[in-house]
Structure 1
């Protein structure tokens, strides 16, 4: 099969790594890719959000499957454009991708489906939001309704902090039009877990869970980021909890989407809070998480390409997935200053030394090759340095040994990934 992978981050490198192991694969392209992906696939200079150019490329090259990594192309209708062109695409339609593109839409769907989640209210007027806030008090969660690159959520511990978030999002528009509407939600308490399920519109197949680390600093301090590290499996997420999440959250939501005429096909990313009253939904995303995808792909023993095709073709009811009992951990190395302004085009060395560490695997996110062959940073989150092992501690040891082998003075990472479990 000829496959076009869309995206250029750490998630896409992990997907390329898993897809390249499939015996079904004959050719892999990635648009636009990165320096790490270029070692596995032919990178093409098409932006991930250039829907017409992506569809044109796929048609001209007789691509058998388009695999979409990031959320933006899905909300822009890439899957719809592929369907119109007779192309198979792994990812939801634009109408179904509203589960990530609009947090209000998700709450409307899940409320109708009886899914356990936070108490919520939505606002298009800042003063009305402030009045509700004063009535409810803090802690409270302030969310931009639209896509904000994983940074549109503020968990406010005080009313003043929440008021500042409302002003930033709705009035200063720090996230652009994504902040034209906001949600104020009950602050759920417990452990946060990311769970993933493959969906074909009718059937949902459980994948695996991971625990992400959103804040930039050790001990979960500092501002939220796109994710500074993850591990899988999280000990707190038991098989019994997985069954409960499938029965009370995933399947009812899938049924409600089908009922509305917008069946969900793709991977459903279920953001959960494990509360004392049971698992509750924080949010849905419509693609693999980053950096959760990296640890999932390290543990997946089934053929990823075959699984994605089954999801596209409505055949998940005849499919099962095998997972390694080993643990996996990824530590994100970011450019100094991230998630604020950061320096770019700094040289990274030592990846060959890191790759020689038993159990280690390095995934590229924001990287490129200079003409002289040097590897340089191009983004905020630059590398995902991963480790696997029989225990989470062994996976952690491998990951941090690989981190320490990399020579990049302008980079940094958290040193406590996995602290909840360890």
Structure 2
């Protein structure tokens, strides 16, 4: 079975083509800057045992043209990996927000698309782009089954004490205001990798997905018990441009006293806050370059980023009544030894001990970085959301 995994953003399309059930990747790539000047299409395709790369820069006015360009490359006489779009059996779509409607992967029907559209208000930066990608894929890969994999699905095992908010009951029952959680595909994948690694399905795991978007999830017996993101993906940890947890009074103060519109507040808290708001840069690599130069704002921004993570770790140890594994994943979590070290620093009272030498080693597989005699494992696990999506699609459609 050939499964094409698509992650459609507002101006981008990430894609990977898998042969299942082996989960062999035969091509991967990215279309970015869609609708802007000098759009870029990157295409890496398997030839023998190695990947070759092709890149195009030019006019890609919309998602339809972008996905058609991908399909043309997939079937290209010299660069292609299939002979016809009809060889694609399943197209798997990442969808950020599934609300309470979707607790598992779903075949896409008109009813499913209507629910994705209904949730635009809860995920205005993501769901519209996902639905656009679905509609385009239905046109370009007309014979394939279309499948939606929801970031929120893994978190639907949270108990009411974790997902309910202390708001009037009608807002929950009628308007579905509650915590949903995000990055679920990643948290599910990495926690399952750890469960397999230790051959123990009963582990208590605290999973930190740290990248431009950040979230932390408490997992017990393979199920989510709590997670830091809520109704939307803005709250919880400090992120690249998102504020994380904030006193709600700030919103009313900005509107009522400072004269901002609600849309301006939303833009500020979603796109201009986090590391960007604190230090002027949103990428952790850029932040650390400033730290090396002694930039006071960058130093404070990193300290706040670390402090928030520490607070969540402590609260989730309390929620789980202990922890077996502290797990780091995502672009920062996997690659940034400095940030991992700072997060684990001075947590001896929680029985968390990091080994600096182990932490400095980089590998492409699961690795332990705790001190030799530590009882709590600290592990770095490379995430692979696309592989998880492909696996869920195969399971549903085989």
Which protein is richer in strand relative to its size?
1
Which of 1 and 2 has greater Rg?
2
TM-score by length of 1: 0.29
Which protein is richer in helix relative to its size?
2
TM-score by length of 2: 0.30
